[in-house]
Amino acid sequence: MNMKKVTPYKSSNDALIALDNGGRFYNIFTKAGDGIITQAEIGKTGGLINNKQGAVLFLELATSQLNENAKQRVLAKMEDSMQASYKKYKPQK
């Protein structure tokens, strides 16, 4: 995996707009602006393909400057399978 610079979002609105993007053209089951963030959409934003662990790492870095309430607002919009992946792969503190 190549290293990329990740610029953290400044607000939950910025994160939600960027992450709820519809994924790539071949992700026929995702739709931009539908209020649900899928792994495909996070992957598109983070430059990842089919990498749950990488998607969680990208999400952690991209939301690292949000306060806890704003971050929870973003995480609550993730589809169930992505929430499960987030719980499995999120950094341990």
Q: Tell me, yes or no, whether 62 lies in a domain.
A: yes
pLDDT in tens, 62-92: 999 999 999 999 999 999 999 999 999 998 8
pLDDT digits (tens, 9 = 90+) for 37-67: 999 999 999 888 888 999 999 999 999 999 9
Which residues lie below 8 Å from residue 43, measured CB to CB, with a gap of 6+? 23, 24, 49, 50, 51, 54, 55
**Residue 1 domain flag:** no
Q: Is residue 32 part of a domain?
A: yes
In a domain, 4, yes or no: no
Q: Say yes or no to pLDDT of 3 above 80.
A: no
Domain that holds residue 48: 12-89
> What is the distance in angstroms between the CA of the first residue and the CA of the last residue of the chain?
24
| Tally of domains in the chain | 1
